[in-house]
Structure 1
Amino acid sequence: MFEACADPKSIEGLTWAFCYLTSAKHVDFYWSFLTVLALLAITAPAALGMGFMGATAARSHIAPVSWIGKLYIWMVRGIPDIIFFLFFVIALDQGIEYLKNLFVCEDGAWPWQGLEFRVCQAAKVPLGSSSAVWHQAYGFGLAVITFAIVFGAFAANCIYGAMQAVPRAQLETAEAYGMSRRQVFRRILVPQMWVYALPGLGNLWMILIKATPLLFLLGVKDIVYYARELGGSKTQAYEYPHGDWRLWYFLGLLVFYLVFTRISEIGIARLSARLSHGQATAGGEALRRTAA
C-alpha cells in the first residue's frame, strides 16, 4: 500500500509492523467487520418481519393459515442451525439455478443426474466469468435469506407467546366498544405485546450476534476467515510470513464480540424501560416505584 512497504523482506521493526497491519489482506480484514454489521443490520429487521408474519399466521382463525404458521415455527426450530444452514443454502442455490436453467439453457434438461447437479454454464448464478465481488455478494445474499428464515422462526415463537400474554380482558373490552378484530389487533394487541416479546427478542439478538461466524461456513469471507488466514503461519497470506498468531487474532474477535454484546445489553435495557412505562407489568411497576 505504501512505497516503503514494497519489499516486505527488507523492512523490520515498527516499519514492518506498520506495513503488515496496513497490507491489502488486513484492509480486507477491517472491511469484513462491516460485512458482519451489514448482516446484522439487514437480517434483524428481516427476521423480525418474518417472525411477526409467522406469529400472526399461527394466531389466524383460518385453519390452513394457522397450520402454515405453526408448521414454519415448529419445523425450523426443530432442525439444528448448522444443518439447516448447510442444507438450505445448497437447496436454495440449486433451486435458483434450476429456474434459470429452464429459461436460458437450450435443452432445459432435468439438472439432477444421479447425485450430481449439473446445469449449463449460462445458468450458473453468478456466472463463472463474473468478478469475485459478485460471488461474494451472492453468497452474502443467500446467507441473509437463511439467517432471516432461521431466526424469523424463533422470533415468531417469541411474538406468538407475547401476543398470548396480553390480557384477554383488554381485547374483549375493545371489542365491546365496537372495535373490529383488525382494529383490536392493530391498536390494542400489537402495541402491548412488544413489552412481553422484548426479553425473548433481546436474547435472540444476542444469539444472532454470536451466530455471525456461521458466515465462514457459508463461504463468505468474514472476520473469522481473515483471522484464520492472517493469524496462521501457513496460509495464502505469504507476503508477511510469521509464526502462528491465531490466538491473538481470535482474542481480538473475542473483545469485539464482548464489547458489541455489552452495547446491545445497554440498548435493550433502555428500550425495555421505555416500553414498560405505564404498563401493568413487573417492569412498569418497578418504574412506578422508582418515580415515587
Structure 2
Amino acid sequence: MFESCADPSQLSGLAWLSCYLTTGKHLAFYASFGTVLLLLAITAPTALAFGFMGASAARSRIAPLRWIGKTYTAVVRGVPDIAFFLFFVIALDQMFEYVRHRVKCPDWPDAIRQGNDFIVCQEAKLPLGTSAQWVHETYGFFLAVLTFAIVFGAFAANVLFGAMRAVPRGQMETGEAYGMSHRQTFWRILVPQMWVYALPGLSNLWMVLIKATPLLFLLGVEDIVYWARELGGTKTPQFTNYPHGDWRIWYFAALLVFYLLFTKLSEVVLERLMVRLTHGQATTGGEAQRKGIA
C-alpha cells in the first residue's frame, strides 16, 4: 500500500508487520467488521418486525391468521439454525428466480427442474451474469439479512407473544369500558406496555444474534471469520509476498476481543434502556426503583 512496502524482502520487524497489516486483503478484513455491524443494524429491526407480525397474528381473533402466526413460530424455532441457513437460502434464491422466470420467459419450453439441476433462462438469473461484482455481493448480503430476520423473527415472535399476554387484562378491559375499540386498546394500551416485559427476552435474543453472525461464512459472505481463516492460515512465498506460519490463533483471538467488547457494550445499553422503560411501571424493576428512591 505504501512505497516503503514495495519490496517486502527488505523489511523486518515492525516495518514488515506494518506493511503486512495494510495489504489489500487486510483492508478487506477490516471492512468486514463493518459488514457484521451492518448486518446487525439491518437484521435487528427487520427480525423485530417479523416477530411483531408473528406475535400479532398468533393472538388474532381470525383463525387462519392465528394458525399462520403459530405455525411460523413453531416451525422456524424447531428447525436447527445451521440446517435452515444451509438450505433455506438456496430455496429462497430459487424461488426468486422461478418467479422472474415465469414473468420474463413465459414461452420457455424446457422443464425448470431437471433432476438435481434448477435451470431458468438467463434473463431470470439473480443477479445477472453480466452484473458487477458488487451487485453479486449485495444480493448475497440481502439473502443473508432476510434469512437471519426470518429465523430470529420467529424467536422474537415467541418473546413478544408472551409479553403481550403479560400485560394485565384489567387494563385492556378498562380501555374497552371507556369506549375504545379492540384496535385502539391494542395500539394504545397493550403495545406501549408490552416492551418492558419483552426486553429481557429480546436482550437475550440480541446476544444470540451477535454470536450467530459467523454463520455469514456459511452463506458465502466474506465476513470476519472468512478473512480470519484466510489470512491466518499458513502462507508461503509462492502465494504471497508476506509468508508466515499458522497465525489463525491470533486472528481468532482478535475476533474474540471484538465480540466480548461488543457484547459488553450491548449489556450497558440494554441495561440503561431497561431502567428507562421500567421507570414508573408496576413491574419488578419499577418497584425496585420506587423503593430505592423512598
TM-score band, normalised by shorter chain: over 0.9
TM-superposed deviation, 1:127: 1.9
- Residue 76 of structure 1 aligns with an amino acid whose one-letter code is V
Does residue 274 of structure 2 align to residue 272 of structure 1?
Answer: yes
- Residue 161 of structure 1 aligns with an amino acid whose one-letter code is G
For 1:285, the equivalent position in structure 2 comes to 287
CA distance in 1, matches of 2:8, 2:224: 24
Q: Deviations over 1:102-126 (max 9, x none)?
A: 2344526332101111223333211
Q: Do the aligned partners of 2:49 and 2:153 also contact (CA within 8 Å) in 1?
A: yes
For 1:254, the equivalent position in structure 2 comes to 256
Does residue 209 of structure 2 align to residue 208 of structure 1?
Answer: yes
Q: Do the aligned partners of 2:235 and 2:242 also contact (CA within 8 Å) in 1?
A: no
Does residue 29 of structure 2 align to residue 29 of structure 1?
Answer: yes
**Range with bigger deviation, 229-238 or 178-187:** 229-238
- Residue 88 of structure 2 aligns with an amino acid whose one-letter code is F
CA distance in 1, matches of 2:99, 2:9: 51
For 2:144, the equivalent position in structure 1 comes to 143
TM-superposed deviation, 1:244: 0.2
CA distance in 2, matches of 1:152, 1:276: 24
Does residue 119 of structure 2 align to residue 118 of structure 1?
Answer: yes
TM-superposed deviation, 1:11: 2.0
Give the match's secondary structure for 2:253.
helix
Give the match's secondary structure for 1:174.
helix
- Residue 206 of structure 1 aligns with an amino acid whose one-letter code is M
Q: Do the aligned partners of 1:136 and 1:220 also contact (CA within 8 Å) in 2?
A: yes
Gaps of 5+ in 1: none
For 2:181, the equivalent position in structure 1 comes to 180
For 1:219, the equivalent position in structure 2 comes to 220
Does residue 41 of structure 2 align to residue 75 of structure 1?
Answer: no
**Range with bigger deviation, 5-14 or 213-222:** 5-14
- Residue 172 of structure 1 aligns with an amino acid whose one-letter code is E
TM-superposed deviation, 1:177: 1.3
Q: Deviations over 1:19-73 (max 9, x none)?
A: 1011100000000000000000000000001100110011100111111111111
Does residue 196 of structure 2 align to residue 195 of structure 1?
Answer: yes
Q: Do the aligned partners of 2:50 and 2:153 also contact (CA within 8 Å) in 1?
A: yes
**Range with bigger deviation, 232-241 or 175-184:** 232-241
In structure 2, relative to structure 1, the CA distance for the partners of 1:8 and 1:124 (3 Å cut) is: farther
Give the match's secondary structure for 1:92.
helix
Q: Do the aligned partners of 1:25 and 1:237 also contact (CA within 8 Å) in 2?
A: no
Q: Do the aligned partners of 2:77 and 2:154 also contact (CA within 8 Å) in 1?
A: yes
Gaps of 5+ in 2: none
Q: Do the aligned partners of 1:101 and 1:108 also contact (CA within 8 Å) in 2?
A: no
- When normalised by structure 1's length, the TM-score is 0.96
Give the match's secondary structure for 1:196.
helix
TM-superposed deviation, 1:3: 1.2
- Residue 32 of structure 1 aligns with an amino acid whose one-letter code is S
- Residue 75 of structure 1 aligns with an amino acid whose one-letter code is V
CA distance in 2, matches of 1:214, 1:238: 28
**Range with bigger deviation, 159-168 or 230-239:** 230-239
TM-superposed deviation, 1:130: 2.3
CA distance in 1, matches of 2:276, 2:12: 55
TM-superposed deviation, 1:264: 0.3
Where do residues 63-102 of structure 1 align in structure 2 (5 Å cutoff)? 63-102=63-102
In structure 2, relative to structure 1, the CA distance for the partners of 1:128 and 1:193 (3 Å cut) is: same
For 1:5, the equivalent position in structure 2 comes to 5
**Range with bigger deviation, 58-67 or 109-118:** 109-118
Aligned residues: 292
For 2:246, the equivalent position in structure 1 comes to 244
CA distance in 2, matches of 1:272, 1:75: 30
In structure 2, relative to structure 1, the CA distance for the partners of 1:108 and 1:91 (3 Å cut) is: farther
Q: Deviations over 1:200-223 (max 9, x none)?
A: 000000000000000000000000
TM-superposed deviation, 1:134: 1.4
In structure 2, relative to structure 1, the CA distance for the partners of 1:284 and 1:38 (3 Å cut) is: same
In structure 2, relative to structure 1, the CA distance for the partners of 1:81 and 1:108 (3 Å cut) is: farther
- When normalised by structure 2's length, the TM-score is 0.96
TM-superposed deviation, 1:237: 6.4
Backbone CA RMSD of aligned residues: 1.5
Give the match's secondary structure for 1:126.
coil
Q: Do the aligned partners of 1:52 and 1:156 also contact (CA within 8 Å) in 2?
A: yes
Q: Do the aligned partners of 2:8 and 2:16 also contact (CA within 8 Å) in 1?
A: yes
CA distance in 1, matches of 2:65, 2:179: 26
For 2:58, the equivalent position in structure 1 comes to 58
